[in-house]
Chain A
Amino acid sequence: MKQMKKVLGFSENITEEPIIYHLIADYGVRVNILRASIDPGKQGRMVVEIAGEDSQVSLGLNYLERTGVQAETLAEEIVHLTDRCTSCTSCVPHCPTRALDVDRNTWQVSFDPEKCIVCLSCIDVCIYKAMTLTGTLSEYFTNRQTAADDISA
């Protein structure tokens, strides 16, 4: 049994194919879509958790490669800047998986990247900017946010 988080990059000419359908139906891979941003005719990104028997997962990943989907490993994309964090706890009710949680004796807020599904809720609500996005995703999603800001300026 294999389980991993991947960032899938779709180039603009393949975003209209049912790739995830084939991944599930033809290769028996279990796919949990954590975050997706795909518009027809534009390049897209998807954060998925994939699971299955070793052979299913490898064959599935081979299929993605053949189709031209870039599959990169997702590693600790959200970073908790402990020097900015004051453990105020305002993020805690917004975290859907309790990756961000508070010890109600010490009142320290902790972040468990293993539980994080990169939903970015914490980035929206942390007033100290103690939650940041780095690595594979940041370029895509952060630029997208910045682009949105520029349009609205």
Chain B
Amino acid sequence: MIKTIEEINQKIQSGKAVVLTAEEIIDVVRKKGVAQTAKEVDVVTTGTFSPMCSSGAFFNIKQLTEKMKIGGGFATLNGVAAYAGLAAADIYLGATALPEGDPRNSNGRPGKFRYGGAHVIEDLVSGKKVALKAGGHGTDCYPRREREQLIGFDDMNDAFLFNPRNCYQNYNVAVNLSDKPIYTYMGKLKPGIGNANYCSAGQLSPLFNDPYYRTIGIGTRVFFCGAQGYVAWHGTQHNPSAKRQENGIPETPAGTVALIGDLKQMTPQWLKAVSFTGYGVTLSVAVGVPIPILDEQMVRYVSVSDEEISAPVVDYSRFYPYGEGQSPLCSVTYAQLKSGQITVKGKKVPTGSFSSYARAREVAGHLKDLICKGEFLLARAQAPLPGAVIEKEAV
């Protein structure tokens, strides 16, 4: 161990910390070597900006003079139903929730999904008011049975984004082997492997830079859509036992984190509602995780580049929905994906991404600036994520 998180935080507070992004560190390690880089660099920042369906927000709505119990009743925001099975004034709005009467995918037409839970969340973050409509059964202590009102953040005691699953460590590359176009959560896939869609920031993605979760754990402070947030738990579907390459990088989707942060502090630049034609509504969020360079092993991890990270190519016409056929069809590196073209079954296929590398770079750069200015301190994880290999300290 060369440094501790406490020592790194002291350097950050005195403005002396050396911070690089997970992209910048690659060339530095190639030039200076692992040992020298471990001595010189204190923090490496990662970033990602991508649709993350497992997103949603908790709201606590301020009571009017005559109080109301929404819990056990119902609540909609701009026509989108929130979950109301909590205490009197608490509701949870999921990003993928749709309003009643949305045309969806009727008559074989791919729905447009123009508005949903994610749009309500983005509207609030943009400072707009949304229409609350709530009903409850009325009690002696909460007599009001109905409430209709335009509300914004000022009308809420609390609003926090709580995403049960974010930052997937690796993800499928989606293609379509069938003879007709399909609309999926990985976008529109043209027939006959007409295109390939991927969704990861690759070398900038948080969990690729700490593949065994040595520093990222429960309690880690993160940049979350413009606010400071935290890793609240391991994410749903967290699967640390996925098969790994020699460098520790999982070959298939593996680790995930659950994230929490103050929605009122978030900005529309870093949080955007999206509509997948034929699939539904979801939310794109910005996440940046700082990685402390504790020793040479961490330098090796953060120096991983797109050439060294591979993703499985999966058929979304039959394999993903029905489990039919072979999978993966092949494996490709993020360097190949980012070249704009990969080869699948002998065919040259153009690639597109849902994870914005341009924005991932901005997130990592912005987090680097915050740390350099002393405005963002590292938080030691309070408990490891399942499957964390903490003892891999040997240099």
Interfacial residues, chain A to chain B (CB-CB below 8 A): 84, 86-94, 102, 104, 106-109, 124-125, 127-129, 145, 148-153
Contact = CB atoms under 8 A, between A and B. Distances in A.
A12 to B, nearest CB: 25
Contacts of B334: none
Interface centre among B107, B355, B358 (most CB of A within 10 A): B358
26 contacts: A84-B272, A86-B284, A86-B358, A86-B359, A87-B357, A87-B359, A88-B352, A88-B354, A89-B356, A92-B340, A92-B350, A93-B196, A104-B338, A104-B339, A107-B356, A107-B357, A108-B358, A125-B187, A127-B276, A128-B274, A128-B284, A129-B114, A149-B112, A150-B103, A152-B103, A152-B109
B106 interface: yes
B195 A93 contact: yes
A149 B103 contact: yes
B272 A148 contact: no
Among A89, A149, A150, A152, the one with the most B-chain Cβ atoms within 10 Å of its Cβ is: A89
Contacts of A93: 194-196, 350-352
Given A87-B359, A90-B352, A104-B340, 8 more contacts: A86-B284, A86-B358, A87-B358, A88-B352, A88-B354, A93-B351, A125-B187, A127-B51
Contacts of A92: 340, 350, 352
A89 B352 contact: yes
Contacts of A106: 358
B277 interface: yes
Interface string B309-353: 000000000000000000000000000001110000000001111
Interface string B111-141: 0101000000000000000000000000000
| Nearest 4 CB-CB pairings of A with B | A93-B350, A127-B274, A107-B358, A87-B358
B107 A151 contact: yes
Contacts of A104: 338-340
Interface in B338-395: 338-340, 350-359, 361
A88 B272 CA distance: 12
Contacts of B51: 127
Nearest to B101: A153
B197 interface: yes
B354 A90 contact: yes
Contacts of A108: 358
Nearest to A121: B188
B169 interface: no
B162 interface: no
B275 interface: yes
Contacts of B107: 151-152
Given A94-B188, A125-B188, A128-B274, A86 B356 contact: yes
A94 B284 CA distance: 21
B353 A89 contact: yes
A94 B352 contact: yes
Contact of B272 (A102, A128, A153): A128
B277 A87 contact: no
Nearest to B341: A93
Contacts of B109: 148-149, 152
A127 B106 contact: no
Nearest to B51: A127
Contacts of B101: 153
B29 to A, nearest CB: 21
B49 interface: yes
B195 A88 contact: no
A127 to B, nearest CB: 4
A151 B108 CA distance: 12
Interface in B40-54: 49-51
Contacts of B284: 86, 127-128
A36 B227 CA distance: 48
A127 B354 contact: yes
A127 B187 contact: yes
A133 B275 CA distance: 17
